[in-house]
Structure 1
């Protein structure tokens, strides 16, 4: 008895090329700001001022160590504590910090939503390009559908001037 390698007799179809999904890059400064906002939630001006002094002390201590000299999250945390201190100092007495009422936080959330929309549009365009290339090669029927392919189909229909292509629709 002879065995064939690979198992299954090598009858597998080749996989369709996959495009790596774009992912959100890590931003240490953004992480530092988010940590401060989470800690500051519900703090009044006095508590924020005390936290700012602690952050300044930590920054002075870190500046004495060579390996901590490039502490991006630490610098972002200090800057965020300073911003919150100034914001609450200008607010009426008794005001407590809440990220929901912070204009800077709302602007960052809106910018992040726009970036997510742009990444999704780029993903749809890349998948549409992939399907178009597979159509030209005559191998479109060999691929497996993916989540979000309805939007890709709509993109291809838009590119074709509103004509729904039967091979893509299938």
Structure 2
């Protein structure tokens, strides 16, 4: 910026005062700084939102009421925060909760666009678990989540095989693949 200002002052008539408000380069730099600050602030607000939701889901998990809670937009990022904080023992519970919600179209997963977006935000085992749950629920409509706990183990330990099973069950329906 200093070289630019020197060029402006050299080219200006004698006695002209430098006005940063009229300097397009300075104004562009100020606008870029303001935009960068707004992006940083938005990032901080989003991190705070994720942390608060992670606290909420962790408390619900500890109370044993996580399964009664519907997921919200952004809970996929909260999953990552919970995993970072507490590791795998929380991840399995949250993954199962998200898979069930995705399979049953609960919360924001009622929206097909949210389900489609989840495909890019959740891990393959969670997505396969959801697909397997959805197909098993079609086969045995009255089955509860506890009866289908094996689906989580299959999806986690044998993701590819569980995905193939979900696809096979989809094709076994009268309407087919």
TM-score range, shorter chain: 0.3 to 0.5
Higher relative contact order, chain-length normalized (CA < 8 Å, sep 6+):
1
- The alignment's TM-score, normalised by the length of structure 1, stands at 0.41
- Normalising by structure 2, we get a TM-score of 0.40
User: Hey, which of these two has a bigger chunk of helix by percent?
Assistant: 2
